[in-house]
Amino acid sequence: MKKPTIGVLALQGAVREHIQMLETCGARGVALKYPAELNLCQGIIIPGGESTTIGKLMVACGFLDEVRDASRAGIPVYGTCAGLIMMAQRIAEGDQPLLGLMDITARRNAFGRQVDSFETDLVIEDIAEKPRTFRAVFIRAPWIDEVGNGVRILGEFGGKVVMARQDGMLVSAFHPELTGDERIHRYFLKMVEEAR
Ligand code: GLN
Catalytic site residue from 17, 41, 175, 185: 175
The answer on pLDDT for 114 being more than 60 is no
Would the CA dihedral through 21, 25, 26, 29 be positive or negative?
A: negative
Band (pLDDT 50/70/90 cuts) for residue 63 is very high
Residue 97 CA, ligand 1 centroid: distance in Å: 14
- Is residue 131 reached through a cis peptide bond, with omega within 30 degrees of 0 on the bond before it? yes
* pLDDT (mean) for 80-87: 98
Contact 14, 51 (CB under 8 A): no
Structure pTM? 0.96
Atom of ligand 1 nearest to the CA of 81: 8
Q: Kindly list the domain boundaries of the chain, sorted by start residue.
A: 5-195
What CATH number was assigned to the domain covering residues 5-195? 3.40.50.880
* Residue 25 designated active-site: no
The answer on pLDDT for 49 being more than 90 is yes
Percent of residues, the chain, with pLDDT higher than 70:
96
